Chains A and B, each alone.
Chain A
Amino acid sequence: MLLSDYDTQGFYDEMFDPSGQARQEAKLLLDTISNLEDGQLQRFQRAAERRLVQLGITFNVYGDAGGTERIFPFDLIPRIVRAEEWERIERGLKQRIRALNQFIDDIYHDQKIIKDKVIPEEVIRSAVFYRPQCVGLNPPRGVWCHITGTDLVRHGDGQIYVLEDNLRVPSGVSYVLENRDLMKRTFPQVFEGLRVRPVDDYTSTLLETLEAMAPQGSTNKPVVVLLTPGIYNSAYFEHSFLAQKMGIPLVEGRDLVVENEVVWMLTTKGRFKVDVIYRRIDDDFLDPLEFRPDSLLGVPGLVQAFRAGKVALANAPGNGVADDKVVYAYVHDMIRYYQGEDPILPNVPTYLCWRDADRQHVLSNLDKLVVKAANEAGGYGMLIGPHATAAQREEFSAKIQAHPRNYIAQPTLALSRVPTLIGDKLEGRHVDLRPYILYGEEIRILPGGLTRVALRKNSLVVNSSQGGGSKDTWVLAGDGVLTGNGAPSTDGAVS
């Protein structure tokens, strides 16, 4: 009944092949769902939502007058990823993060990649998030991006593309862990039959990654804290969740002071030295002495303490330069330049409006393309040509011509879909996927990640601030693999 007139409508569907047959990996789940009593899935769905409210698993919506907390809508039908497909994604992401990390380090040191004319100097000079304060910084082990949340999408051609890299303060991982918890309660029998790779060890791996960054000379058990802007931040739930699961203090800017380049937290017994800060505050607000002087969220002197090697920051400041969507267009060149390898995961073809030829093409094809501001996130500052009105296209045309450097355009992707419970039926809805990549002593990737789903019919915008929801992501274990965060898959004695 739920699936009786399910229609893929010509889109790539993650559960059904083009002929409408269930894909092999989805069969057990679909059978289970089909055998549920009438209304049972809807009851599960409501129970899950109730639980999210009771546990206060909410996000804050900015600019929303009525009630600032909302649950992030959750859909019970997961996205399933086959083992061999995941293996390729994982290799591709590792390659990409290595190159991006080398790029950031290079940009704030010798800028070899500019001298060798792989990336035009002008692109970097004009990047809004390039931070001259970071020139010459040497983060521990040369790692800048410890925690990355890369956005992937699958197009109608079946290929997985990288949409953006999110090297600053990516959020959403707490929903991955909570979603899994809900799913295990709801479909225990499917988990037993499918061998879904666990995600629960993420916070242990994150803690290891953070501890591994501790500056030389800190005590044998480094003091790690999570720095939050406070309870009114949209991701506050996640901040407290991660701090709780790692067993580390959740601090606000007002809990920290810097003296002689050492960071201290203010406790009931006086000051206590801090070694590593997982900061969930943007660069701009991190330190009023270096960045925005009006910031009350940050800690004066923090960046100097970091520069002096007395405290480690994850992620390092300055990464935003690589999140610039114009810089994004050069990631494949970076991979070839720094690694001498062919890129594994494709980029979405990108037109750079500051190039005359590209701009002309974009302006005359606005009804087909997606235009994005180079430095905005959260689904803001974006035009989806085919869905836009003539007036909206005109507005963007003017913006592009006034500030060509600020805009890029890409073909409108036909994002793949996953069946999603809408009312009493399952209908296809577009999804993306954000895996989480941890870069400590080695690079480790959480199997799966956050599948975001555009709940509005035909919508391609998956952001939580714009009507998006989430789904659990099931990465299936290959032969003999039942381990978590990208641990070696060869010693699979676990059965």
Chain B
Amino acid sequence: MSTHPLLSRVADAVYWMARYIERAENVARYIGVNLNLQLDLPLDPAHQWQPLIDTSGDTEAFQKRYGEATQARVIEFLAYDVENPNSITSCLRSARENARSVRETISSEMWAQVNQMYLQIQSQRSMPEPERLLDAFREIRLGCHLFQGVTDSTMTHNEPWHFLRLGRKLERADKTSRILDVKYFMLLPSAKDVGTPYDDIHWAAVLKSVSGFEMYRKKYGRITPRDVVDFLVMDRDFPRAVHYCIGSANESLHAISGTAIGYYQYRSEQLMGQLRAELDYASTDAVIAGGLHEYLDALQRKMNLIDITMREEFIARATELRQSQRQSQS
């Protein structure tokens, strides 16, 4: 790791920039998959679109302002609503604001790409024509992929890059666990459908929501709920699986701290290491037997705690230092 010092403010900004881009990409993918799914299996809106809102974690805000979850309302809320801080538009705006504040740290190409995506969605502002919908969300997804490719190939893999990767991986693990949680809960009760084409299509949609359908097929063949859980949580090699994400987040955290893997100096490293070890040796069957929802809920809480602790140790500490300094001088 280079000895070039990294401002805490800059570390914070690149971390959030990455999280917002990843969040925008995930939302765009969910909407795209759902639009596709609707063409195969028209359901009542409560089952078709409400789960997307639940996955985003903004159920209450949505209900208050929009009421029933119809396609148009859900897309408006998740993609274009500037008052929803997690909408694609808001995410890209926040990503760009963060990028703008660290333009000297990231590469020009990265900045140009974030700016481009932001300008594009700005010029759009409201829902595209129905025949343009699928393309619109595909473009956003591709834009985010391009940003990630540009990031990995134009920015030195130094400390700020590791903060960026940490943000991306934690966000991704969180989103994968959420979509699994919501869908698993929704799909299992309809036990009468088990083994029917409908069931198969639904589970395929879950996999597609994380771009995992093809890779799943190669590994497992037929779709079963157990194997989907195994793939999305425990897989070591699929880049959107929780286990994979935590593995690389752990690497980045150690690259930042300079501590060897398997050891820890910081509390955040300890927490991340514990989670990683847990995933290393977990059994999918035991997780399902013990209640998947409870398991995923605990997983999300652990990731939140890692996020908070990491930011306290590397970012907030500097702020406290400055405040105590200001007080002693005034």
Could you tell me if B329 and A289 are in contact, using CB atoms closer than 8 angstroms? yes
A266 engages B100 (CB within 8 Å) = no
Counting CB contacts under 8 A, is B111 at the interface? yes
B221 at the interface (CB under 8 A from A): no
Q: For this complex, into which size category does the number of interface residues on chain A fall?
A: 20 to 34
Decide yes or no: A266 and B111 within 8 Å by CB, A56-B100, A244-B103 being known contacts: no
User: Among A53, A258, A259, A271, which residue has its beta carbon within 8 angstroms of that of B119?
Assistant: A53
**In the complex, what residues of B have CB within 8 A of residue A201's CB?**
none
- A257 to B320 CA separation, bound complex (whole angstroms): 11
- A246 vs B3: C-alpha distance when bound (angstroms): 17
Over the window 90-106 of chain B, the binary record of Cβ atoms lying under 8 Å from chain A Cβ atoms (1 yes, 0 no) is: 00000001001111110
Mark out the residues of chain B between 64 and 119 whose CB falls within 8 Å of any chain A CB in the assembled complex.
Answer: 97, 100-105, 108, 111-112, 115-116, 119
Q: Is B5 an interface residue (CB 8 A)?
A: yes
Give the residues in chain B near A265, CB-CB below 8 Å.
5, 7
Q: Which residues of B are found within 8 Å of A54, using beta-carbon distances?
A: 112, 115-116, 119
- Is the CB of B8 closer than 8 A to any CB of chain A? yes
User: Complex Cα distance A265/B4, Å?
Assistant: 12
Residues of B within 8 A of A251 (CB): 7
B10 within 8 A of A: yes
Bound complex: CA A263 to CA B100 (Å): 25
B115 touches A269 (CB 8 A): no
Cα-based distance from A252 to B111 in the complex (angstroms): 20
Residue of B nearest to A271 (CB): B321
Q: Which B residues are CB-close (under 8 A) to A243?
A: 104
Question: When the two chains form their complex, are residues A272 and B5 in contact, meaning their CB atoms are under 8 A apart?
Answer: yes
How far apart are the CA atoms of A251 and B322 in the complex, in Å? 14
* Set of chain B residues within 8 Å of A255, measured between Cβ atoms: 7-9
Task: Mark contacts of B310-330 with chain A using CB atoms, 8 A cut-off: 1 yes-contact digit, 0 otherwise.
Answer: 000011011101100110011
Min CB–CB distance B282 → chain A (angstroms): 31
In whole angstroms, what is the CA distance A270 to B3 when docked? 13
From the candidates B108, B256, B329, name the one contacting A55 in the complex (CB within 8 A).
B108
Interface string of A211-243 (1 = CB under 8 A from B): 000000000000100100011000010001101
Residue numbers in A under 8 Å from B210 (CB-CB): none
Asked if B11 is an interface residue, CB under 8 A from chain A, the answer is yes
For A56, the chain B residues whose CB sits under 8 A away are 100, 111-112, 115
Interface size on B (CB < 8 Å)? 34
Cβ–Cβ < 8 Å partners of A244 in chain B: 103-105, 108
Chain A residue numbers with a CB within 8 Å of B104 are: 226, 240-241, 243-244, 248-250
Question: Contact at A254–B115, with CB atoms within 8 Å?
Answer: no
Known contacts: A231-B97, A243-B104. The answer to whether A254 contacts B5 by CB under 8 A is no
**A300 contacts the other chain (CB 8 A):** yes
Q: How far is the CB of B10 from chain A (nearest CB, A)?
A: 7
User: With A56-B112, A231-B100, A257-B322 as given contacts, are A267 and B7 in contact (CB-CB < 8 Å)?
Assistant: yes
Of A53, A241, A257, A258, the residue contacting B321 (CB under 8 A) is A257
Cβ of B292 to closest chain A Cβ, rounded Å: 36
Known: A257-B325, A301-B329. A249 touches B116 (CB 8 A): no
- Interface status of B181 (Cβ within 8 A of chain A): no
- The answer to the question of A9 belonging to the interface, with a C-beta cut-off of 8 Å to chain B, is no
Contact check, B101 vs A231: say whether CB atoms are below 8 A apart.
yes
Contact of A249 among B7, B100, B111, B325 (CB under 8 A): B7
Tell me the complex Cα distance, A126–B11, Å: 46
**Given the complex of chains A and B, what is the CA–CA distance between A326 and B119 in angstroms?**
46
- Max chain B C-beta neighbours (<10 A), residue from A53, A56, A250, A265: A56
Given A56-B111, A266-B7, A266-B8; A259-B325 close (CB under 8 Å): yes
A4 at the B interface (CB under 8 A): no
Chain A contacts for B6, CB-based, 8 A = 267-269
Given contacts A56-B100, A240-B104, A300-B329, contact A249 B322 (CB under 8 A): no
With CB as the reference atom, state the residue of chain B lying closest to A293.
Answer: B330
Query: In the bound complex, do residue B115 and residue A55 qualify as a contact, i.e. CB atoms below 8 Å apart?
Result: yes
CA distance A53 to B122 in the complex (A): 13
Q: CA–CA, A437 to B216, complex, Å? A: 63
Q: Are A252 and B9 in contact (CB under 8 A)?
A: yes
- The chain B residue with its CB closest to the CB of A268 is B314
Contact A55 B112, CB 8 Å, known A231-B101, A268-B159:
yes
CA distance A226 to B103 in the complex (A): 13
Within 8 A of B (CB), among A283-301: 289, 300-301
Q: Which B residues touch A53, using CB under 8 A?
A: 119
**A268 to B315, Cβ gap below 8 A?**
yes
A241 and B319 alpha carbons, distance in the complex (Å) = 26
CB of B113 to closest CB in A, whole Å: 10
A218 to chain B minimum Cβ distance, whole angstroms, is 15
Q: State the CA gap A270–B111 with chains docked (Å).
A: 28
Residues of A within 8 A of B111 (CB): 55-56
> Per-residue 0/1 for B289-326: is the Cβ within 8 Å of any A Cβ (1 yes, 0 no)?
00000000000000000000000001101110110011
Count chain A CB atoms within 10 A of each CB in B7, B112, B315, B330 and give the residue with the most: B7
Q: Which residues of B contact A55 (CB under 8 A)?
A: 108, 111-112, 115
Query: What 4 A-B pairs are tightest by C-beta distance, nearest first?
Result: A266-B318, A243-B104, A240-B103, A244-B104
Given contacts A265-B7, A268-B6, 16 further A-B contacts (CB under 8 A): A54-B116, A230-B101, A231-B101, A236-B100, A240-B100, A248-B104, A255-B9, A257-B321, A266-B319, A268-B8, A268-B11, A269-B6, A271-B321, A289-B329, A300-B325, A300-B330
Q: Can you report 25 A-B residue pairs in the complex whose CB atoms are below 8 A from each other?
A: A53-B119, A54-B112, A55-B112, A55-B115, A231-B101, A236-B100, A240-B100, A240-B104, A241-B103, A244-B105, A249-B7, A251-B7, A254-B9, A255-B9, A265-B5, A266-B319, A267-B5, A267-B7, A267-B8, A267-B318, A268-B5, A268-B159, A269-B6, A270-B318, A300-B329
